[in-house]
């Protein structure tokens, strides 16, 4: 279970209404029962239920059971698409070990707004589901040009496009360190964006194969290929 407050030995943890409902109504836990909790910063903790009400409750943190496992320094940057497919991308990015998830507005992006809180909740659920101790932060929507302007040169960018070089080949000899993957919107990148991306000294254009993938499929494929080549 993910909790926002920092955890430590002997720390009491008040539950939200939803968390209490899940633990006591769905999982049928009662006082004295153990629960594994994490705060995204201090690893996993064994906690105990001390108070169980219908929409409230309290846990107490007993001992640290696992250290924090940080994912590789990999960001997933993508142009938001339809709501459910954007939810899917965030969920899969958290499962596949992205350290940060950055929705970006490109020339052909349809979405002007995102529900950051809703997307962050999907990242939390995915981290809980896969037994992680870390939750990637979902950033606010930002313009691709602003993101690239603020980009430190040391960060390597794998941008997925109709490149001649396959992702596996491009990453084969690539250095580790901070990276980002960039996936375009359904309409792809504009000519101007392509030109700018291709001129960046730290950008690697890669192909994910001869078929045009939906953006959500491309995000999953790109994360998988990157993790295979450079991840943990």
91 binds ligand SAM (CB under 6 A): no
104 binds ligand SAM (CB under 6 A): no
Secondary structure string (H, E, C) spanning the chain? CECCCCCCCCCEEECCHHHHHHHHHHCCCCCCCEEEEECCCCCEEEEEEEEECCCCEEEEEEEEEECCCCCCCEEEEECCCCHHHHHHHHHHHHHCCCCEEEEEECCCCCCCCCCHHHHHHHHHHHHHHCCCCCCCEECCCEEHHHHHHCCCCCCEEEEECCCCCEHHHHHHCCCCCCEEEEECCCCCCCHHHHHHHHHCCCEEEEECCCCCCCHHHHHHHHHHHHHHHHCC
* CB 217, min distance to ligand SAM, A: 7
Write the interaction track for ligand SAM spanning residues 132-171; mark x where CB under 6 A is met and - where it is not.
Answer: ----------------------------xx----------
Exactly one of 213, 224, 229, 231 binds ligand SAM (CB under 6 A); that residue is 213
**With contacts defined by CB under 6 A, how many residues of the chain interact with ligand SAM?**
17
* CB 229, min distance to ligand SAM, A: 15
Exactly one of 101, 157, 183, 197 binds ligand SAM (CB under 6 A); that residue is 183
Residues binding ligand SAM (CB under 6 A): 160-161, 183-184, 186-189, 207-209, 211-215, 218
């Amino acid at each position: 279970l993910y909790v926002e407050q920092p955890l430590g030995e002997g720390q009491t943890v008040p539950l939200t209404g939803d968390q209490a409902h899940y633990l006591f109504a769905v999982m049928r836990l009662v006082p004295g029962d153990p629960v594994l909790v994490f705060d995204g910063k201090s690893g996993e903790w064994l906690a105990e239920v001390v108070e169980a009400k219908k929409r409230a409750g309290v846990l107490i943190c007993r001992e640290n059971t696992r250290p924090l496992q940080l994912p590789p320094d990999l960001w997933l940057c993508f142009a938001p698409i339809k709501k459910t497919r954007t939810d899917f991308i965030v969920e899969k990015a958290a499962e596949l070990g992205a350290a940060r998830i950055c929705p970006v507005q490109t020339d052909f992006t349809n979405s002007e707004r995102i529900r950051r809180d809703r997307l962050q909740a999907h990242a939390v659920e995915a981290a809980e589901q896969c037994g992680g101790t870390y939750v990637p932060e979902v950033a606010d929507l930002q313009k691709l040009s602003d993101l690239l302007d603020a980009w430190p040169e040391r960060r390597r960018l794998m941008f997925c496009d109709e490149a001649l070089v396959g992702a596996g080949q491009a990453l084969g000899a690539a250095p580790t360190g901070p990276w980002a993957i960039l996936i375009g919107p359904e309409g792809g990148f504009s000519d101007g964006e392509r030109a700018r991306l291709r001129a960046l000294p730290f950008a690697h254009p890669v192909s994910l194969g001869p078929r045009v993938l939906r953006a959500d499929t491309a995000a999953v494929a790109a994360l998988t290929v990157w993790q295979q080549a450079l991840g943990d």
